[in-house]
């Protein structure tokens, strides 16, 4: 029996249908990625599965005693007062009971793994991102039969997202997840379910498999539609002849022509069109920092930052949660004052930004009202006037959509609406804080292409590895210890340089280690026969491990691999394993060599 069977599920909001006869059968241990356009109803479906919302019609048949845990985009915490209270509430609901001390230990470990070190912080005063990470810890600690996650990687840095990725891969229960993170999704799930026009379509395999299948489906549908149009053209030509000529034709052909006309044409997929302007005129000086100190109150997050922003620079800002990325961004845009140093903004520099909270929209306003502060019938884009309805259509708001209130929009729809409003402002520097949160794949692709063509400058905070790889010309790494370092190239190139630096540092540490150990006066233990044998043959093993890592890195850098998500993920996993094996060999060699050198030094001193 399936863990869950959903049959004939219907759900509407007012006159807008969200689910129409939707069906889904979920097996135990299956991991599903739920995808679809913004506003398609993905979060609504998750809420229905979690019991937080009700369908208008249809049935949900559960296997007996199924335990469900749900991560909402907007969590509520009841009586919980601290982050630890939130996590403990999840631990107490675990499918397999734990002792009190085990619950406490598990809750602390989960919170810290998600980057929450101040576990006694007041949850009511915490940021939205901190609250969601505490709620995620609570959901994971429940060890449920079914885990429902709505955008789990929002507010996670790259290292924490990787940790969560491995947790979900080893999770023994079933999973239904909505996420915009393409690498994360491709690594975790074994089936994609697309919510399209109220119906659920199932695609076994990874995200890469799904994208390839959908591409073939669209190509086939286009060919069939073209054939139908050609046939329709012939039949219309025949019907346009004189009545006398038509009367001699078979009645079946007339009916066939009428059916073709009634069938209509296939609706083309709706795609966002971002009307990025030519950048406002730039001077030689755009934005520069000299020994900049960033923080708030007495707390310094970044110090000594020297940065020079040039024409066409697209800088991705990365680093662990709490390191100061958003604070740095707000300082560079002039929203908050620096603690010290110089921030020099060019005379012709015009900065436009969208923050992580998507502020700037009034919940009670309609889409039509919110897109234009003057609430006129026309908007001005560059030198061109455009009717507001036409302009909103470029951002996929049409018909009834324009009368929706902002409060009813999905996260992705709010971003599109805010972008439509901001792009009317003159700018040559665009600042985005976590822009990919909540966006569907089609909108992400359009946004990436628009940013690549944008002639101005970009400053962006993002944890989305695919986005950073495709868009950025440089990476500003906010380390978390007060330092920030600028690296040329995209995110993958930044990671490769980081790995090379760690390797070089490790080699230096190994070279210095024996000399310090040799100073010890006490007699160290001599290596055993098996340890001496292992030490004698370990260097060739290290060379083999190095060669394997190098070969995998060379393959990962191959240009033809860029669009192959499946192979990228397989190679990335293999590279991680090979790197760890190499690290283990180095550590083993370090231990054996240092002990052997220490014994030899002691022995020589005795002679």
* Look-up of token digits 């009841």: 78
Confidence of residue 604 (pLDDT cuts 50, 70, 90): confident
Helix/strand number for the chain, H first, E second: 18, 20
Q: Please say if the pLDDT value at position 565 is more than 60.
A: no
Mean predicted confidence (pLDDT) in 532-536: 81
For 107, 150, 398, the CA distances from 111, given in Å and listed in that order, are: 6, 19, 43
Query: From CA 349, how far away is CA 456, in angstroms rounded?
Result: 10
Q: What is the pLDDT of residue 518?
A: 44
> What are 314-347's pLDDT values in tens digits?
999 998 887 889 999 999 999 999 999 999 999 8
Q: Please say if the pLDDT value at position 420 is more than 90.
A: no
Q: What is the pLDDT of residue 480?
A: 83
Q: What is the pLDDT of residue 249?
A: 52
Q: What is the pLDDT of residue 69?
A: 96
Helices within 51-199 (DSSP H only): 83-92, 100-113, 128-141, 158-169, 182-188
Q: What is the pLDDT of residue 290?
A: 95
> What are 339-397's pLDDT values in tens digits?
999 999 998 899 998 888 888 899 999 999 998 866 778 888 777 888 888 888 888 88
Q: Please say if the pLDDT value at position 516 is more than 60.
A: no
Confidence of residue 43 (pLDDT cuts 50, 70, 90): very high
* 244-248, 276-280, 353-357, 603-607: range with highest mean pLDDT: 353-357
Q: What is the pLDDT of residue 288?
A: 94
Domain boundaries, given as residue ranges, for the chain: 70-143, 211-263, 287-489, 493-606
Contact 206, 186 (CB under 8 A): yes
Its CATH architecture, for the domain 287-489, is: 3-Layer(aba) Sandwich (3.40)
Q: What is the pLDDT of residue 42?
A: 94
> What are 152-177's pLDDT values in tens digits?
998 888 888 888 999 999 999 999 99
Helices within 265-380 (DSSP H only): 325-332, 367-370
Q: Which residues pair with 211 in a beta bridge?
A: none
* 137-141, 352-356, 463-467, 584-588: range with highest mean pLDDT: 137-141
Query: From CA 17, how far away is CA 32, in angstroms rounded?
Result: 23
Q: What is the pLDDT of residue 444?
A: 85
Query: From CA 573, how far away is CA 236, in angstroms rounded?
Result: 58
Give the list of residues 6+ apart from residue 89 with CB closer than 8 angstroms, or none. 78, 80, 138
Confidence of residue 269 (pLDDT cuts 50, 70, 90): low
> What are 215-249's pLDDT values in tens digits?
888 877 777 777 767 777 766 676 666 555 445 55
Mean predicted confidence (pLDDT) in 193-210: 92
Q: Tell me the backbone φ, ψ of residue 142, rounded to 5 degrees.
A: -70, -20
For 100, 402, 527, the CA distances from 424, given in Å and listed in that order, are: 57, 18, 73
Is beta strand 287-296 parallel, antiparallel or unpaired with respect to 429-433? Answer: unpaired
> What are 477-499's pLDDT values in tens digits?
998 888 999 999 998 888 888 87
Query: From CA 93, how far away is CA 205, in angstroms rounded?
Result: 32
DSSP state letter for 54:
-
Mean predicted confidence (pLDDT) in 209-218: 86
pTM of the model: 0.70
Q: Which range has the worst mean pLDDT, 68-77, 123-132, 170-179?
A: 123-132
Q: Please say if the pLDDT value at position 276 is more than 90.
A: no
Query: From CA 497, how far away is CA 502, in angstroms rounded?
Result: 9
Q: What is the pLDDT of residue 277?
A: 53
Q: What is the pLDDT of residue 515?
A: 52
Contact 282, 346 (CB under 8 A): yes
Q: Please say if the pLDDT value at position 520 is more than 50.
A: no
Percentage of residues in the chain having pLDDT higher than 90: 36
Q: What is the pLDDT of residue 168?
A: 94
């Amino acid at each position: 029996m399936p863990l869950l069977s959903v049959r004939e599920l219907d759900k509407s909001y007012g006159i807008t249908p969200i689910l129409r006869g939707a069906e889904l059968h979920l097996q135990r241990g299956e991991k599903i990625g739920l995808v679809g356009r913004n506003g398609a109803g993905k979060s609504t479906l998750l809420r229905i599965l979690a019991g937080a919302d009700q369908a208008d019609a249809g049935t949900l048949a559960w296997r007996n005693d199924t335990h469900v845990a749900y991560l909402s985009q907007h969590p509520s915490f009841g009586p919980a007062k601290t982050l630890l209270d939130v996590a403990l509430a999840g631990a107490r609901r675990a499918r397999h009971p734990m002792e009190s001390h085990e619950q406490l230990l598990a809750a602390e470990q989960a919170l810290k793994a998600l980057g929450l070190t101040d576990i006694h912080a007041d949850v009511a005063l915490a940021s939205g991102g901190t609250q969601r990470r505490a709620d995620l810890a609570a959901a994971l600690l429940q060890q449920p039969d079914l885990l429902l996650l709505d955008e789990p990687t929002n507010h996670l840095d790259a290292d924490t997202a990787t940790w969560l990725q491995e947790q979900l891969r080893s999770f023994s229960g079933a999973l239904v997840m909505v996420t915009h993170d393409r690498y994360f999704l491709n690594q975790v799930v074994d089936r994609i379910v697309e919510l399209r026009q109220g119906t659920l379509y199932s695609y076994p395999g990874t995200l890469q498999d799904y994208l390839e299948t959908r591409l073939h489906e669209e190509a086939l549908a286009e060919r069939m539609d073209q054939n139908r149009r050609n046939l329709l053209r012939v039949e219309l030509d025949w019907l346009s002849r004189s009545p006398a000529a038509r009367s001699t034709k078979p009645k079946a052909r007339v009916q066939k022509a009428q059916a073709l006309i009634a069938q209509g044409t296939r609706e083309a997929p709706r795609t966002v069109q971002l009307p990025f302007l030519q950048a406002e005129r730039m001077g030689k000086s755009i934005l520069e920092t000299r020994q900049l100190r960033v923080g708030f109150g007495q707390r310094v997050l970044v110090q000594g930052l020297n940065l020079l922003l040039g024409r066409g620079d697209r800088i991705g800002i990365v680093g662990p949660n709490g390191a100061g990325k958003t604070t740095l961004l707000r300082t560079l845009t002039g929203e908050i004052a620096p603690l010290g140093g110089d921030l020099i903004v060019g005379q012709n520099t015009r900065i436009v930004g969208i923050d992580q909270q998507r502020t700037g929209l009034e919940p009670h306003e309609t889409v039509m009202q919110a897109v234009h502060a003057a609430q006129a019938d026309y908007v001005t884009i560059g030198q061109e006037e455009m009717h507001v309805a036409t302009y909103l259509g470029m951002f996929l708001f049409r018909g009834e959509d324009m009368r929706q209130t902002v409060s009813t929009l999905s996260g992705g729809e709010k971003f599109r609406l805010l972008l439509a409003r901001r792009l009317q402002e003159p700018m040559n520097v665009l600042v985005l804080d976590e822009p990919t949160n909540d966006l569907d794949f089609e909108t992400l692709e359009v946004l990436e292409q628009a940013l690549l063509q944008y002639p101005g400058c970009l400053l962006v905070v993002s944890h989305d590895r695919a986005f950073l790889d495709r868009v950025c010309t440089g990476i500003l790494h906010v380390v978390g210890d007060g330092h920030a370092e600028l690296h040329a190239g995209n995110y993958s190139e930044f990671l490769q340089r980081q790995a090379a630096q760690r390797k070089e540092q490790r080699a230096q540490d190994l070279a210095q280690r024996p000399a310090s150990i040799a100073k010890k006066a006490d007699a160290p233990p001599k290596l055993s026969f098996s340890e001496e044998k292992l030490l004698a043959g370990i260097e060739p093993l290290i060379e083999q491990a190095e060669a394997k890592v190098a070969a995998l890195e060379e393959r990962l850098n191959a240009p033809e691999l860029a669009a192959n998500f499946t192979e990228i993920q397989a190679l990335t996993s293999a590279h991680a394993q090979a790197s760890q094996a190499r690290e283990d060999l180095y550590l083993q060699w370090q231990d054996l060599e240092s002990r052997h050198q220490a014994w030899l030094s002691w022995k020589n001193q005795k002679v």
